[in-house]
Chains A and B, each alone.
Chain A
């Protein structure tokens, strides 16, 4: 027993599994005996799980400082009434009497595979240029880099060279996204591109749990478990909910990376906070103004509908929607209809089903679907839309980003609603014209009065097209 506990291979394995994390005792995949041994030999150390300051407490995993998100419980383990954190309880309860565990043994040594990249695709010249900038940013351990690429520029492929460079030099890499859907979609692509490397994906309910691989894909929430873990941290869709307005996740992303490491932000629609830093030269950035197929972004057309509110009350799309439907330039395209609320999605689904059937836009009820964030079937619906079994999809903003359908037209109903901020509208418009075989798509905003968000969205799409060399 004792000899095996001291074997260098075993210690390496434990270092890979435990280093760079803050864990509950129950999250450590070792026997009680082994944990006690690691503690007594100072290869594992405990830290208090909740810090009590004068006025507030702080959870040492999720940084929660909001007193109303701490609970009090009479604890049967220590016979005291004390605090526990309600903010991160879905990751396992943090209570005051149970410490968190950190690895204090030797640093893990990661593989330095000479040719980790097994992807054989080709990059466009613009992608190549961006990819090289990512590589040099990682080589020089540049602290931050923002990659601003229009929707459909092929961001994931631009990362491959950089990730390969990091893996070659024994660095640990994490790609984090605010959205679980995106993590799930990226996993097979990364497994294929780095087929010799162990790639793990972490999200709520993921099959991978231990996280001892060199290359990790994760939701931004999962970063809460990590401390000083990654040499390279890539944050996809940095402007997306819930990451962009959650200070807890920002702290998590800062602390999950090693101080000497590099962070790369990806976005198609940077928030003002980042734009400001770019304009002040505080944030190195690179702009990719053109889609990988070389065509400009479709510019949304605003369509004023005087009776929009009335139509919405009845759960109908506005009259001009049907007019537009008939006069689309390519009626073969599938249709994405964005609506502001889950309720409206269901209402419109019910009310237009028969209308569309009668006028022959769909041939069976199965060709029309609606989807929202709480829909248990959402993955299957997205798949059948992709395989064209569904022709028309009514959706809330969950399909605004991270999903690619080759040939769609996009309609936004009540584009002036507050859920459609400028970033959302740019992303929604970016769903159209994604493939090189059908690079144009129509985007139409049905509204009852232009909002600032709509104007800013249209303006920023036009600006991006101009920077991409397309005259308007």
Chain B
């Protein structure tokens, strides 16, 4: 099997467990895996950023804005290598890349606190129509499909400007691009690829809460 990112042949370790496995496992090669930075040290409870303090500065700021996201959990930190992977996956549109994240993304999800996961529905953040036309897939939906809970597409994005082109201030002040299309009364886990400032997730969470969702958590692949 090839590495899902660099396409080099992966050495497959044959063990009694996978000897008779029919489907070859998708994943990254060792060299690529080593370049990724798993978040496993002390982190901010609010947003998963690596930090010694319980809550980081940004989360204390968000706290003041009131009823938004309850917390965010991420799997990987953002580094140069991750940047290249994300570029290949999202901007070049190499759908298969993200299957390399699947095992860890699922694993971390299963280790989330019980009270977050219980009864929760998964809502992937949507792309605008134009962006979807361009990319032909939604990366958040792809990530959501890795998870064992029920996925509900309850949001729509009305206008899409690339977030990465805006400053932090602009992101926070930007008009809310989402609308809620389905009524949900259960807790929600919002899924996206990356949490940078948190603005996108907070916007979506605010709307969901206004629409009656009791509890909204973010679950993202990367903490930027």
Give the interface of A toward B (CB within 8 A).
68-69, 71-77, 84, 86-87, 89-90, 93, 95
Quote the shortest CB–CB distance from B24 to chain A (angstroms): 10
Which residue of the partner chain A has the closest CB to B92?
A89
Given the complex, which residues of A lie within 8 Å of B95, measured CB to CB?
71-73, 84
Tell me the bound Cα distance from A72 to B94 in angstroms: 9
Given the complex, which residues of B lie within 8 Å of A90, measured CB to CB?
92
A89 touching B136 in the complex, CB below 8 Å, given contacts A68-B2, A69-B2, A69-B7: no
Given the complex, which residues of A lie within 8 Å of B96, measured CB to CB?
71-73, 86
Which residue of the partner chain A has the closest CB to B93?
A93
The residues in B between 115 and 139 inclusive whose CB is less than 8 angstroms from any CB of A are 132-133, 135-138
Given the complex, which residues of A lie within 8 Å of B94, measured CB to CB?
71, 86, 89, 93
- The answer to whether A68 touches B136, judged by C-beta atoms less than 8 angstroms apart, is no
Quote the shortest CB–CB distance from B196 to chain A (angstroms): 24
Tell me the interface secondary structure of chain A in the complex.
mixed
Quote the shortest CB–CB distance from B74 to chain A (angstroms): 25
Tell me the bound Cα distance from A453 to B104 in angstroms: 46
Q: A68, A75, A86, A89: which contacts B137 (Cβ < 8 A)? A: A75
Tell me the bound Cα distance from A90 to B7 in angstroms: 13
Given the complex, which residues of A lie within 8 Å of B112, measured CB to CB?
none
Tell me the bound Cα distance from A75 to B93 in angstroms: 11
Q: B1, B7, B138: which contacts A86 (Cβ < 8 A)? A: B7
Quote the shortest CB–CB distance from A84 to chain B (angstroms): 7
Given the complex, which residues of B lie within 8 Å of A95, measured CB to CB?
136
Tell me the bound Cα distance from A77 to B2 in angstroms: 27
Query: Could you jot down 28 A-B contacts, CB within 8 Å?
Result: A68-B2, A69-B2, A69-B7, A71-B94, A71-B96, A72-B95, A72-B96, A73-B95, A73-B96, A73-B136, A73-B137, A74-B137, A75-B136, A76-B132, A76-B136, A76-B137, A76-B138, A77-B136, A84-B93, A86-B94, A87-B7, A89-B88, A89-B93, A89-B94, A90-B92, A93-B92, A93-B93, A95-B136
Which residue of the partner chain B has the closest CB to A95?
B136
Tell me the bound Cα distance from A93 to B91 in angstroms: 10
Tell me the bound Cα distance from A163 to B120 in angstroms: 69
Given the complex, which residues of A lie within 8 Å of B2, measured CB to CB?
68-69
Q: B1, B7, B133, B138: which contacts A77 (Cβ < 8 A)? A: B133
Given the complex, which residues of A lie within 8 Å of B136, measured CB to CB?
73, 75-77, 95
Tell me the bound Cα distance from A203 to B78 in angstroms: 29
Given the complex, which residues of A lie within 8 Å of B1, measured CB to CB?
68
Quote the shortest CB–CB distance from B139 to chain A (angstroms): 11
Tell me the bound Cα distance from A268 to B95 in angstroms: 42
Quote the shortest CB–CB distance from A334 to chain B (angstroms): 33
Given the complex, which residues of B lie within 8 Å of A93, measured CB to CB?
92-94
The residues in B between 1 and 53 inclusive whose CB is less than 8 angstroms from any CB of A are 1-2, 7
Tell me the bound Cα distance from A77 to B7 in angstroms: 26
Mask of B204-215 contacts with A, CB within 8 angstroms, 1/0? 000000000000
Given the complex, which residues of B lie within 8 Å of A84, measured CB to CB?
93, 95
Tell me the bound Cα distance from A404 to B132 in angstroms: 49
Given the complex, which residues of B lie within 8 Å of A77, measured CB to CB?
133, 136
Tell me the bound Cα distance from A280 to B118 in angstroms: 76
Tell me the bound Cα distance from A90 to B5 in angstroms: 13
Quote the shortest CB–CB distance from B101 to chain A (angstroms): 15
Which residue of the partner chain A has the closest CB to B145?
A74
Tell me the bound Cα distance from A73 to B93 in angstroms: 10
Given the complex, which residues of B lie within 8 Å of A72, measured CB to CB?
95-96
Tell me the bound Cα distance from A40 to B135 in angstroms: 27
